[in-house]
Structure 1
Amino acid sequence: MRGDNPIRQQELNDGETLWVQEIFHSLQGEGPFAGRPAVFVRLAGCNLRCFWCDTDFESSKWKPSINDILSEVRAFTDGTTKLVVITGGEPFRQNIKPLVERLLDAELLVQIETNGTLWVDLPESDNLHIVVSPKTPTIHQEIRRRATAFKYVITSDKVDEKDGLPIESTQTNGMKAALAKPEKNVPVYVMPLDSGDPEVNALNTKLCAQVAQKFGHTLTIQLHKLVGIR
C-alpha cells in the first residue's frame, strides 16, 4: 500500500464472518517456516500505515463465512500442506478466534503474522505459532508472552549498534523510533526491506547478513519472490 491505506480500528464481531482479501496456496517465504508449503488466509484492513508496505489488503469486498473459508483451505490442504498462515493487513483487527479453533480442530499447523499491537483471546496450543513483526515501540503483553518468533525488516544503515535491530519509524519515513524489542530466548529473524530498487535491496541484504552474523539472529529472505511465485 506504500503508506496510503486507511487506518482501521479493531472490529470484533462473533467471528463467524471475516473480511478477507484473498486465500491462496504458496510457499511460506520467510520466518520460522520458510520454504514450507502453506495456505495463506490474508485478512483485509490494518490498524497501522507502514510507509514501505507493498501488500494489497484493502481492495477486496469479500466477507465469507468461516465455513466458506474452511472450504477454501481444505481445497489446498490435501495431505501435503499442513500449514495455514493467517496474515494481513493485521489479523488481530478481526475476531479470528473461531477460525483458529476450527483450523486447530482439523489438526492443522496455524501461524499468525501480526504487528503485535492488538490481541484476540486464542487457545493455547503447540500447533499455534504467533510471529510478531513489531512496527511500534510497544506491543500487546499477550503477544509478547505468546510470540514464538520475532521478525524485523532491516534497512541499510538504520539499525541499533547494540542489537542490530531497526531504529527507524515504520509510520513516518526518516523519523527515528525504536521498535519493540524481542523477548529473551525467543528466535529473532531479520529480513531485508524490498525497496523496489535492486541496488538498495543488495545493501539491505548485505546488512541483514552482517547483523545476523554479529548478533546471532537468523537471516530470512522472501523465498517466494526469489523463486518467482506469489
Structure 2
Amino acid sequence: MIYYPINEIFQSIQGEGVFTGTPAIFIRMQGCDVGCSWCDTKNTWCLDYEKKLPDSSYLHQKSDNSDSWTMMSSMEIFKYFSEKNYSPQHVIITGGEPCLYSLLELTDILIGKGYYVQLETSGTREIKVHENVWVTVSPKIGMRGGLVVLPESINRANEIKYPIGKEKHIEDLDCMLKKSNIGNDVQICLQPINQNKNSTKLAIKTCIDRGWRLSVQLHKYIGLK
C-alpha cells in the first residue's frame, strides 16, 4: 500500500478548464519543485516534516493555506470521502505537484470504486495513473525551478490548461505544441494569470481566433475554495 503526503481533502466546484462548474472532491498533495511565481498554493511546495500531522483526523482542523500535511494510504483517502459524507463522483488529484508520486494505486482504487478521476499536473514529471484518468496538463515553461515540460506528459494530456500573461506565453505554447504529438481531440484552455485585465483580453482574443477554450478560475469569482 502506497502512502501519499496530503495537504487537504475537500469538496467544492471545479473552477478551471473543461470541467468548470463540476462538483468535485479535491485531493491536494504536498510537495512541488516547479516554482511558479503566480502560484496560489505555495503552501504546498515544501515537504517539511516538522509540519507533519499525526493522522488524517487533523486535516479538518487546519486553516486555509496551511503548509501542514499528513500521510495517507490510498484506502484511507477513499474512506475519508465516506467519513465526510462527500457526494461528488468526480475526483481531482492536484497539488503541489502530484506526479512527484506514482498515482497508479490510488487511481486504480478510485476508478474501481466508481469515481471519475482527473489529474492536474505541470507536465514536468512522468505521469503514472490509470489509463482512464482524465489528465489536465498545465505546462509550466521557464519556471525558476528549472524543470522542463516532458513531451511524453504533453502527449498523455486530455486537456492542456495554459496560464498566460503576455504574448510571449502564447509563442511558448505554440512552440511546445509543434514539438508534441497530441491528438485532435485534446482540449486547449487558456487561463489568464491572476485575472489580470490585459491577460484576460489576450486570452479571449486568442481563444476566439484559435477555437480554444477560456478558463477564468470561476471559484475565485464566486468566492469558493
Which of the five TM-score ranges fits, normalised by the shorter chain?
0.7 to 0.9
Question: 1:23 is paired with a residue of what secondary structure?
Answer: strand
Matched with 1:219 is: 214
Given the superposition, is the C-alpha separation of residues 144 and 65 from structure 1 closer, same or farther in structure 2, using an over 3 Å criterion? same
Name the residue aligned to 1:123.
130
Which runs of 5 or more residues in structure 1 are unaligned? Answer: 1-14, 160-164, 168-176, 196-200
**8 Å CA contact 2:102, 2:129 repeated in 1:** no
What letter matches 1:189 in structure 2? C
Residues 225 and 17 of structure 1, relative CA distance in 2, 3 Å threshold: same
Q: Provide the residue aligned with 1:188 in structure 2.
A: 188
- On the 8 A contact 1:151/1:191 being kept in 2, the answer is yes
Match of 1:202 among 193, 197, 202: 197
* Matches of 2:14 and 2:207, distance apart in 1: 20
- After superposition, the Cα gap between the structure-2 partners of 1:204 and 1:76, relative to the gap in structure 1 and judged at 3 Å, is farther
| Aligned equivalents of 2:74, 2:192: Cα separation in 1 | 34
Aligned with 1:107 (options 114, 127, 131):
114
Counterpart-to-counterpart distance in 1, 2:194 and 2:161: 15
Counterpart of 1:133, as a letter, is S
228 and 184 in structure 1: CA distance in 2 versus 1, 3 angstrom threshold: same
How many angstroms apart in 2 are the aligned matches of 1:34 and 1:46?
Answer: 24
1:152-163 map, 5 Å: 152-159=162-169
1:142-194 per-position Cα deviation (integer Å, ceiling 9, x unaligned): 423321011110103434xxxxx254xxxxxxxxx987326251210001100
* 8 Å contact from structure 1 (residues 111, 131) kept in 2: yes
Q: CA deviation at 1:109?
A: 0.4
How many residue pairs align between the two structures? 193
Correspondence for 1:6: none
Q: In 2, are the aligned partners of 1:25 and 1:76 still within 8 Å (CA)? A: no
| Distance in 1 of aligned mates of 2:24 and 2:171 | 28
Does the 8 A contact of 2:160 with 2:188 survive in 1? yes
119 and 217 in structure 1: CA distance in 2 versus 1, 3 angstrom threshold:
same
CA separation of 1:112 and 1:130: change in aligned 2, threshold 3 A: same
Question: For residue 36 of structure 2, what is the aligned residue in structure 1?
Answer: 50
1: distance between equivalents of 2:120 and 2:100?
A: 12
CA contact (8 A) 1:39 1:76 kept: no
CA distance in 1, matches of 2:14, 2:139: 19
Match of 1:61 among 60, 69, 72: 69
Q: Which residue does 2:149 correspond to in 1?
A: 139
Identity %: 34
In 1, Cα distance between the equivalents of 2:19 and 2:91? 11
- Asked if the contact 1:24/1:40 (under 8 Å) is kept, the reply is yes
Larger helix fraction of residues: 2
Using the size of structure 1 for normalisation, the TM-score is: 0.76
